[in-house]
Amino acid sequence: MSEVEKGRANGFRRSVFALLGIALSACGLAYVFRDIIFGNVTIGEHFKELIASTDRIEILPLLGSIAVYWLCLIVLRSLLVRHLLKPVGDLRRAQAYRYICIGFLANNVLPLRAGEVARSAAIHRGANLSFPSVVGSLALERMLDMTLLATIALAAIQVTPLPGSVRTVSIFLSVLLGIGFVVLIILARRRRGDEQPKTGRGLLTRLRNIWIRFSAGFGALKDTRGTLIAVGLSICIWGAALATMMLRLEAFGLPSSLAWGLVLLTCIGFGVAVPSAPGYVGVYHAAIMFALVEGFDVEPVIAVAFSWFSWLLDVGVSSVIGAVSLSIEGLKLGELKGVRPAETGSME
């Protein structure tokens, strides 16, 4: 296949995935605005109710939620990123913090959670670390996140009467992700530290070399101490996320109990994991709507207002901090959409 044909094929795949993400976001928005779609309320009435709901917002818990998120949660996540990347290279704390923020910005403006690739590319370019190894550590980080999130889901179904289907899915995901995390630990401990890529152009050789570099990102799990540090940091991160959600509920005049925080955090966590349009539009709002309306019988208009309030807070602050981080690192977002194949072969 010629380079032109490869380019066309890659462009076609990207277009298909982008359309899929847009379709999922559209479904989410349809769920959020179903009262308007089915004619129960008019757009004007809905808009007036949304504006009126802003009177509920209290400044002090709102500022507290922002502080906990950016001065605690993201700091902890930067420590986790450094720990996971330590086997493949050193990363300063400030660098790790900025790369996380750059990833947030990219997710806000690029579809299909492309911020994950952008963050890996930023670390690869800025810290001169092997791109496949960085992606491997990111995959490990995501597995940790999803495993902890599934555990939170198990806690949520114990404290609120969610539908039976939700309980079944939560239990299934918890078991599945727990098994996946154990498999990663086994792979990390079975990997030989002296294993090196081989020269050659054959497909099997190329796949083997990619796997060697990718699995180097699992190095933090090679011993018990490293595994405990990773799990401990993940627990602290999700504890801070729970505190953020509870403060955000209080800021909007909704009950800030543990049950509400657990359910809301679980739904948002799984919702934004779905590939979607830029900024998680639709899926983010639908997740909050499901949590508040189905879980706690909140009035739909209040749930919609909270979803936009929470979304604007997340996207607005993360976009500003991400843009500042991008400038400090001397990078451009267009440079981080992907990495040339030649670069992935470098171990530098």
Q: How confident is the model at residue 229 (pLDDT cuts 50, 70, 90)?
A: very high
Per-residue pLDDT averaged across 269-292, rounded?
91
> pLDDT tens-digit profile of 129-160?
988 889 999 989 999 999 999 889 888 888 77
pLDDT of 194 > 60? The answer is: no
User: Which range (3-7, 222-226, 253-257, 258-262) has the least confidence?
Assistant: 3-7
Sign of the torsion formed by the C-alpha atoms of 218, 222, 225 and 227: positive
Contact present, 230 and 84 (Cβ < 8 Å): yes
- Maximum average pLDDT range among 10-19, 44-53, 104-113, 227-236: 227-236
Quote the CA–CA distance of 325 and 317 in Å, as a whole number.
12
Chain-centre distance for alpha carbon 303? 22
Contact present, 21 and 277 (Cβ < 8 Å): yes
DSSP annotation of 279 reads G
> Where along the chain do its domains lie?
3-344
pLDDT of 312 > 50? The answer is: yes
Nearest to 47 by CA among 58, 59, 28, 33: 33
Quote the CA–CA distance of 177 and 172 in Å, as a whole number.
9
Contact present, 278 and 111 (Cβ < 8 Å): yes
Quote the CA–CA distance of 236 and 227 in Å, as a whole number.
14
- Please give the pLDDT value at position 196: 64
pTM of this structure: 0.87
- Please give the pLDDT value at position 112: 79
- Max alpha carbon distance in the chain (Å)? 67
Nearest to 259 by CA among 153, 147, 146: 153
Per-residue pLDDT averaged across 178-196, rounded?
77
pLDDT of 239 > 60? The answer is: yes
Per-residue pLDDT averaged across 76-93, rounded?
94
Per-residue pLDDT averaged across 161-179, rounded?
77
